[in-house]
Amino acid sequence: MSYPQAKIILVTGGVRSGKSSFAQSLASQYERQVRYIATAEAKDEEMRRRILHHQKNRPTSWNVIEEPIWIDQYFAPNEKASADTVTLLDCVTVWVSNLLLQKDPMGKEMWESEKGLKKVEEQIERFIHALRETNHKAILVTNEVGFGGIEMNVLGRIYQDLLGWTNQKLAKVADQVYLVVAGIPMLIKDDEKGVMQKLGDL
């Protein structure tokens, strides 16, 4: 399989679908410096195991940056990375969760108020704006959480809605979008070829 040299690539799929492995294989296709932005924080044992798994499966030569919140700074046009850099962000899913769980000055989590949710949306918009203006290649990993059905609790539903909204905006900006199912990547958008495939046509 050959991969067109798209500027922005979005890789989406369900949990354990193989999307991170595929995104890493894409990043390795470029003969460029790879910068890996990890958004996860080791807050419990299960997450520590997940982080360790990702660490073992990526090349040691990659420049790893751990940033749970302020990721837009790494995509801004005036950012230090050169055009020869490929930035792999893994993942948008955890990042959106981190944004919702931030505390406001009153000690409330952002998802608990309309004002907090608006600030989260503004932060996502800033990231998308930076991504649109970036001067280097970017590969973004995200989840299709809607595949699991509608959450029964309020936070879960807010999270699903916000991540779905974010994914749609990222897909619009991306030159290519891949959907990974059971380890199989399917190209569903390719602006380089003027192709937008429907899932029913795959």
Q: Which residue(s) pair with 8 in the sheet?
A: 138
CA distances from 62 to 23, 27, 168 (A): 14, 10, 29
| Three-class DSSP labels, 152-199 | CCHHHHHHHHHHHHHHHHHHHHCCEEEEEECCEEEEEEECCCCEECCH
Q: Are 58 and 34 in contact (CB under 8 A)?
A: no
- pLDDT above 70 for 74: yes
CA distance 108 to 180: 36
> pLDDT-derived band of residue 169, with 50, 70 and 90 as boundaries?
very high
Strand 137-141 and strand 176-181: the pairing is: unpaired
The CA–CA distances, whole Å, from 88 to 78, 122, 177 equal 18, 22, 14
DSSP 98: H
Q: Catalytic residue numbers?
A: 54
Q: Which of 178, 183, 90 is nearest to 140 (CA)?
A: 90
Is 76 annotated to bind a ligand? Reply is no
Dihedral over Cα of 186, 192, 198, 201: its sign? negative
| Residues 18 and 149 sit within 8 Å (Cβ to Cβ) | no
12 pLDDT band (50/70/90 cuts)? Answer: very high
Q: How far apart are CA 71 and CA 114, in angstroms?
A: 23
Query: Tens digits of per-residue pLDDT, 17-56?
Result: 999 999 999 998 886 789 999 998 766 666 566 666 666 6
CATH hierarchy code of domain 33-175: 3.40.50.300
Condensed to tens digits (0 to 9), the pLDDT of residues 92-121 reads 999 999 999 999 988 999 999 999 999 999
Say if residue 182 carries a ligand binding annotation: no
Does the pLDDT of residue 2 top 90, yes or no? Answer: no
Of residues 99 and 147, more confidence is placed in: 99
128's tokens: 């998308």
- Does 38 count as an annotated binding residue? yes
Confidence of residue 1 (pLDDT cuts 50, 70, 90): very low
